[in-house]
Structures are given as C-alpha cells and as structure tokens.
Amino acid sequence: MSATTLAAAPARARPAGIQSPAALGAGALLILGALAIGQAVSPRQAALYLLGGALGLVLYHAAFGFTSAWRVFIADRRGEGLRAQMAMLAIAVLLFFPALSAGSLLGQPVAGNVSPIGVSLLFGAFVFGIGMQIGGGCASGTLYTVGGGSVRMILTLAAFVAGSALGAAHLHWWAAQWHLAPISLVKAWGVAPALALNLALFAAIAAATVWLERRRHGRLVATGSTPRQGLARVLRGPWPVLAGAVALALLNFATLALAGKPWGVTSAFALWGSKAAMALGIDAASWPYWQAPAARAALTGSVFRDVTSVMDFGIVLGALLAAALAGRFSPGLRVPLRSALAAVIGGLMLGYGARLAYGCNIGAYFSGIASGSLHGWAWMAMAFAGNVIGTRLRPLFDLEVERVPRQTGC
C-alpha cells in the first residue's frame, strides 16, 4: 500500500484510556463506604451498598436507559431497547415468582412491590412519563448519568428530590381517591398461570416492536461496532444492551435476597427531600406519609440505615467507576438555559409522579411487574403515554429527538 493510500485511509479512533484518578477515587469510596456502613449498620447493608455499585456499573456500561429506549421507539420505531426490557422482565419473573410464592428466599422472608391501581397511580405514572423526556432520564438513568459526570442531570436530580418531597406531602389526598385493592397475580392465580400470562405479554410486545421496526426500516437496525473486545470490553464497556438486561434482572433478584424486597430508587428521594424540608423549618414529620413507625424511624434516622438510599449512593459511585474505566468521565459545566429549565421542570414531574404512582421505572415498572403486581402493567401503559407527549415537547426546550439511542442511555 502506497503512502498516498495510507494517508487517504480514515484513521480508526483509538478508545480513550482509563482515567485513573477518578477510577481509584470511585473504587476507594465504594470500598471504604462499605467498610463504614458494615461497621455502623450491618454487613448486609454494606453488601446492598456494593450491590448498588454493581447496578451503577451495569447501567453505565450497557447504556441501559428506559427513557432513550422509549424515545427512539416512539420517534423512529427502533425497538432494541424495548426488546431488552422485555428480556429483563422475563428473566425477572422466572426468578421472582417462585420465591414470592414461597414467601422466603435463602431463609429470609421476601415480599414484592404490590400497589393499588387508581387515580393516584394512573396520573402519577403519566406525569412521570412526560418528565422522563423533558428531564432527560428516568430514576435509574438520572443516578447513573450523574455518576457518569452529567452536570445537567444534577439539576434533574435536585428537582427530582424536591418533587418527591412534594409528592410525599400530598400522597394522602391522592391515595384517598378512587382505587382498586392491590392485585398480585402470583397470589391470585398461582405461579404457573401468572408466569404464562406475563411471558406471553413480553413476547407479544417484543414481536410488535420487531414488526413495527421492519415496517419502518425494512429490517432490524444493527447495533454499531464496539471499540473494545474481550476482557477489555467486559471491564470498560460498552456492553450489549441485552447483557445489561440479564445483569439487571440478576442484580434485582440479589436485592430481593438481601433486602427482602425488590430494587427501588425513588423512596430515598422522598426521604432526602423531606429531611431537607425539615432542615428549612418545614414540619415534614407531620405529613401522613411519615406517620407509620418504620417511616418515622427512617425520617429521624441516618440515611445510611435506609436500604434504598445506600443503594442509590452505590449506583452513583458505580457509574462513576464505569465512566472512569471507559475514559468518558468529563463533566461539562455549561448547560444551556432552556435545557436547564427542562431539567428542573422534568425533575419536578419525575419526583411528584413517582410518589403518586408508588414508584418509578424501577420500583413500579421493573420491580412491580417482577412482583406479579397488576399495577406494574398499568404504570407501564400510562408512563409510555406520557413519554409520547414528552417526546413531542422536547423540541420546545432545544432537546434532540434522536433516531438512535445515545451511549448514555438517557
């Protein structure tokens, strides 16, 4: 090959190197934090903190975003992300339903996330869905993109926490409106019929995305090439989204085994926001939301005793570690005004909607369906409808409606 030919050939971009200071810092905080939590609370709580770190790493490396997956399907009928969600849910129900039916797992009592369908859930999920697209992320997506260095998502997270506290203050009114009793398909029908129905629905949704994607594009759109292979890809990403789906289902099951309940995210935001309100002189302790003994203990105690809080902290640090390993941790301080406004508005909607809907894309959708609760399916339908509206509103805030998912997943 001549020198001229060599010069004309496009240069292959070299993958970024590991950002050692950030990686070592994140790793140290995970290890030292686990040691401190293990001593101050319990070894089990420390394990849950590290489990959160594993969730953050998986979310970042697989760019597993609920928000972008729904957006690119709405905008361009690309369904890879939705199919990965269905695979994740299928694995989860196969693991969860027998354990929940037995009532114990590895000697520990376990219970699912089962909540009522009513005005509160339907309205809250719809508002949450709009907030996903305006705010730029879901609950898990907000945490892992904050850990990955997104300054804009710090605004979303702060508003998310504020909206969650407001939702906690108002939840008693919403919960008093029309609602059905909580319905667990596992308890009502038994494991086998509940599994059959759920697996059939997952397959039908996946098949519908295949049909719609082929109708739009003539074929299933292939994923782009990856800059790393082998062990380097495992440690530094990016991972196939399906690998992320499998890992998240297994880690949620590990959460059930350790915590006695499935993975959740946003109850911690309500706790943080209510603690902040009390620091500002607002009597959050008088809200009906905090009157149960366990809730009151959480409000008055250390956040490190709250399972969801320590897992959320772990997610942020796990994502920071993943971003540093990938060489992609580069916080940018400039956030356009309209984008910042969207982050705040979207964050408030996310927080308020999550409290009214008894959870977010994790606690209500992922863990709700994995628990066999009918409310998880209702949440999905209403949140998806909200995402349709939110996707159409994004251009008003100069936010892109992309045709392919971003690597950040949000």
Residues 232-252 pLDDT 10s: 777 776 899 999 999 999 999
Residues 67-125 pLDDT 10s: 999 999 999 999 999 999 999 999 999 999 999 999 999 888 999 999 999 999 999 99
Record the pTM: 0.92
> What is the pLDDT, as a whole number, of residue 1?
39
Residues 242-301 pLDDT 10s: 999 999 999 999 999 999 999 999 999 999 999 999 999 999 999 999 999 999 999 999
The domains of the chain are located at 19-212+236-397
Amino acid at 348: L
HEC secondary structure over the chain: CCHHHHHHCCCCCCCCCCCHHHHHHHHHHHHHHHHHHHHHCCHHHHHHHHHHHHHHHHHHHCCCCHHHHHHHHHHHCCCHHHHHHHHHHHHHHHHHHHHHHHCEECCEECCCCCCCCEHHHHHHHHHHHHHHHHHCCCHHHHHHHHHCCCHHHHHHHHHHHHHHHHHHHHHHHHHCCCECCCCEHHHHHCHHHHHHHHHHHHHHHHHHHHHHHHHHHCCCCCCCCCCCCHHHHHHHCCCCHHHHHHHHHHHHHHHHHHHCCCCCCCHHHHHHHHHHHHHCCCCHHHCHHHCCHHHHHHHHCCHHHCHHHHHHHHHHHHHHHHHHHHCCCCCCCCCCHHHHHHHHHHHHHHHHHHHHCCCCHHHHHHHHHHCCEHHHHHHHHHHHHHHHHHHHHHHHHCCCCCCCCCCCCC
What does the mean pLDDT of the chain come to? Answer: 92
> What is the pLDDT, as a whole number, of residue 10?
39
Closest CA to 347 of 47, 48, 127, 65: 127
Residue 304 neighbours by CB under 8 Å, 6+ apart: 37, 40, 41, 45, 310
Region 45-61: mean pLDDT is 97
Bond into 395 cis (ω within 30): no
Residues 115-139 pLDDT 10s: 999 999 999 999 999 999 999 999 9
> What is the pLDDT, as a whole number, of residue 3?
35
The answer on pLDDT for 406 being more than 90 is no
> What is the pLDDT, as a whole number, of residue 408?
52
The label of the residue with tokens 């796990």 reads 318
> What is the pLDDT, as a whole number, of residue 404?
61
Q: Of 11-15, 38-42, 182-186, where does mean pLDDT reach its minimum?
A: 11-15
Indicate the pLDDT class of residue 224, thresholds 50, 70 and 90. low
The answer on pLDDT for 170 being more than 60 is yes
Where residue 179 falls (left for φ over 0; alpha for ψ -120 to 50; beta otherwise) is: beta
> What is the pLDDT, as a whole number, of residue 9?
36
CA trace torsion 256, 259, 263, 266 (10° rounding): 160
Percent pLDDT > 70 in the chain is 94
